[in-house]
Structure 1
Amino acid sequence: MRGSLKAAALALVLAVAGCGGSDEAPPTPEPPPFADCAALTVPPPAAVPVTLAGEGKALPEVALPCFTGGQDVTVSAIRGPAVVNLWGSWCGPCREELPAFQRFAERAAGKVTVVGVDTRDRRSAASSLATDLGVKYPNLFDEDERLRAELGITVLPATLFVDRDGRLRHLYNSSALDDATLATLAAKHLGVTLP
């Protein structure tokens, strides 16, 4: 009896310690909340060609991975009108303005493409923040800050306003953008007025 009591006690200890086999699969990580990047190099379907003064500046030839996977996107191939926002989960003003970009993306659907570039970040932190804030527009992942360096940007957030031909019309690199300022800048630099 003493032997069977020891055996039962050992079986209980092993079961509690998790040493027994389990039929449960390990949890799979949550997919990122962002949309894929497939359409970033095609102008939005309802985009109306607008004549803007001057030629604008070419975007850098930097290829970045789409946050959700798939083929890399060369930034110079992005066609607008587009608003490209460089951000990171570690950046306070970035966190503050991300909801305004999501609302803008919803209002501008079919007229302006909104693209995020998660910069110098951990994928898990960015994905968690985006999920918390409801950010769903396409995002590129720039762990090594290659785009920021190519543009000569020293601090985040930074927002690029890109015309239909993929030319940089304006670089905003100041305080967090709100809904009204973002819409005003899009109207001024892209010729796009939203309701």
Structure 2
Amino acid sequence: MIRSLRAVAVVLVLAAAGCGGSDGGPSPSPEPPAPFTDCAALTAPPPAAEPVALSGEGKPLPEVALPCFTGDQEVTVSAIRGPAVVNLWGSWCPPCREELPAFQRFADRAAGKVTVIGVDTRDSRSAAGSLAADLGLTYPNLFDPDERLRVKVGVSALPATLFVDRDGRVRHLYNSTALDDATLATLVARHLGVTLP
């Protein structure tokens, strides 16, 4: 009887310790895949984009390397070529959440003419990925949990949007209320010279 009790006790201890090669803790649930596309084409102008004469010099994009939200590819922000719209956002930021659908609609309309790039800022991958999936966001995004680009750009609050020309120069920085479809299209036409039908 005592041997039987000892055998049962040993089995219970081994089961509780997770003898199957596990460390005994709960298995971490894998992060859901990010809905965003990869960042492979961010440093080349859109294929259908034609050079546009713009007045003034513009400021070069900052020298910051950020990982693509999808995969491990690192993108040097100063190598991005436009026409492009670079939107700094975070899932914790109410005006960012409000304007993100307009950026997706613009990305769909402007495919091949203007590149839309998001920069998830001071955020976690899981919170940002969940919001992106809920909103149906698919355009490429970079991940900046330490706010390196925000600091280099010199803005204190989000959202912030950079309008970038073919040479990688910032033609306009918008850092105000949430953008809507009409205002976004107007700013692209005014500062990048691209008008969409």
User: Which of the five TM-score ranges fits, normalised by the shorter chain?
Assistant: 0.7 to 0.9
Q: How does 1:70-89 map to 2 (within 5 A)?
A: 70-89=72-91
Q: CA deviation at 1:27?
A: 5.2
Q: After TM superposition, give the deviation of residue 108 of structure 1 in Å.
A: 0.1
Give the number of equivalent residue pairs. 193
Gaps of 5+ in 2: 1-10, 21-26
Residues 14-70 of structure 1, C-alpha deviations (whole Å, 9 max, x = no match): x9x9x898xxx9754310000000000000000010000011101100000000123
Question: Aligned residue for 2:196?
Answer: 194
1:171-190 → structure 2 map (5 Å cutoff): 171-190=173-192
Partner residue, 1:134: 136
Q: TM-score, with normalisation over the residues of structure 2?
A: 0.87
Q: Secondary structure at the match of 2:196?
A: coil
1:74: how far off? 0.6
Equivalents in 2 of 1:151, 1:96: separation in Å? 22
Cα distance in structure 1, aligned partners of 2:194 and 2:77: 21
- 1:56-108 CA-to-partner distances (Å, cap 9, x unmatched) read 10110000000012321011000000000000000000000000000000000
Partner of 1:7: none
Match of 1:153 among 148, 152, 155: 155
Aligned positions of 1:1-195 closer than 5 A: 28-195=30-197
Partners of 2:153 and 2:142 in 1: CA distance: 16
Amino acid at match of 2:44: V
In 1: Cα distance, 2:142 partner to 2:73 partner: 11
- Distance across 2 between alignment mates of 1:28 and 1:61: 32
1:124-160 Cα deviation digits (max 9, x unpaired): 0000000000011000000000000011100000000
Unmatched 5+ stretches in structure 1: 1-10
Computed over aligned residues only, the root mean square deviation of the Cα atoms, in angstroms, reads: 2.5
2: CA distance, partners of 1:158 / 1:146 = 13
CA distance in 2: counterparts of 1:57 and 1:122, whole angstroms: 30
The DSSP-based 3-state class of the residue aligned with 2:170 is strand
